[in-house]
Amino acid sequence: MRDALGDVQSVLVLGGGSEIALATVRALVARRARTVVLAARRPEELEATAQELRGAGAAVVEAVRFDADDDASEHLRLADDVFDRHGDLDLVLVTAGVLGDQAAAERDGANARAVVETNFGGLVSAIVACTERMRAQGHGALCVLSTVAAERPRRSNFVYGASKAGLDAFVQGLGDSLAGTGVNVLVVRPGFVHTRMTAGLEAAPLATTPEVVAGAILDGLARGAHTVWAPPALRYVMSVLRHVPRPIFRRLPI
């Protein structure tokens, strides 16, 4: 259960090695989160992070194996294992994702499908397994990293954008279906964030940091929001871009 001040005390991260996830978890631990479960493809690589979080005040930090590309049955087993061992969880933060190689994916169906399956299909089965447990406990928040690229996929990265648009739509619907159950769903739409994922790419306008995204997430959780943009100005940029007529949209250098 969240504490008397409404702060998250326990969190499961799907994509536990993500830089945005780590910035968020650091901020949560600074605000008294005590139990942190980092689920990642190679949990053994997260030992230094676990030590850091313990040093910052988290009482229980563990890393467990999670691969979005695993079968739904494996995702169900993971959710049951974590919820059974740790009891109620206040937050499930979903940060796993791949940018992919747009040029390769445009011409190779297997490559495109792998991006879509990791970012959308695989996460959907993991998310449903977790939200079923939160529905049963009667409280909790699901926070999912979407992107502004989901709002209107652009020519230059439409495979990633489409995979995130699918995830974004699914999670919005899930949030509506969970209304009244005590479980809130927060969709996070950052723009360009300086992390491993974007290393070597030219920064887009309004580029930001994992810490700014983490701040937007904590603010959204505190308000019980359903959507946050990071930085917030992107909300207005995207509401214009979404309505640009296609002949003009095609001429934009994006």
Ligand X SMILES: NC(=O)c1ccc[n+]([C@@H]2O[C@H](COP(=O)([O-])OP(=O)(O)OC[C@H]3O[C@@H](n4cnc5c(N)ncnc54)[C@H](OP(=O)(O)O)[C@@H]3O)[C@@H](O)[C@H]2O)c1
Binding flag, residue 241, ligand X (CB under 6 A): no
Contact between 61 and 40 under an 8 Å Cβ cutoff? The reply is no
Binding flag, residue 229, ligand X (CB under 6 A): no
Strand order across the beta sheet in which 60-65 lies: 60-65, 35-40, 10-14, 91-94, 140-145, 183-190, 227-230
211: Cβ contacts below 8 Å, ≥ 6 apart: 23, 27
- As measured in angstroms, the least distance from the Cβ of 141 to ligand X is 17
Which of 30, 42, 103, 233: binder of ligand X (CB under 6 A)?
42
For ligand X, the binding residues in 152-181 under the rule CB under 6 A are none
Core vs surface per residue 74-93: b (16+ CB within 10 A) or e = bbbebbeebbeebebbbbbb
Contact between 89 and 141 under an 8 Å Cβ cutoff? The reply is no
Rounded Cα distance, 19 and 40, in Å: 12
Q: Which of the stretches 105-113, 189-197, 233-241, 246-254 binds ligand X when contact is defined by CB under 6 A?
A: 189-197
Q: Which one-letter DSSP state was computed for residue 35?
A: E
> Which of 120, 160, 192, 229 is an active site residue?
160
Rounded Cα distance, 112 and 116, in Å: 6
For ligand X, give the closer residue by CB, 83 or 192. Answer: 192
From residue 118 to residue 137, what is the string marking binding to ligand X with x (rule CB under 6 A)? Answer: x-------------------
Is 160 one of the catalytic residues?
yes
Q: Which of the stretches 13-21, 85-93, 231-239, 244-252 binds ligand X when contact is defined by CB under 6 A?
A: 13-21
Binding flag, residue 198, ligand X (CB under 6 A): yes
Closest CA to 15 of 143, 102, 180: 143
Closest-by-Cβ residue to ligand X is 97
Q: Which of the stretches 37-45, 131-139, 220-228, 243-251 binds ligand X when contact is defined by CB under 6 A?
A: 37-45
Binding flag, residue 192, ligand X (CB under 6 A): yes
Compute CA 25 distance to the chain's CA centroid, rounded to the nearest angstrom: 12
For ligand X, give the closer residue by CB, 58 or 145. Answer: 145
- HSE of 210, CA atoms in CB hemisphere, 13 A: 17
Query: Which residue numbers are catalytic?
Result: 160
Which residues of the chain form contacts with ligand X (CB under 6 A)?
15, 17-20, 40-42, 66-69, 95-98, 118, 145, 147, 190, 192-193, 195-198
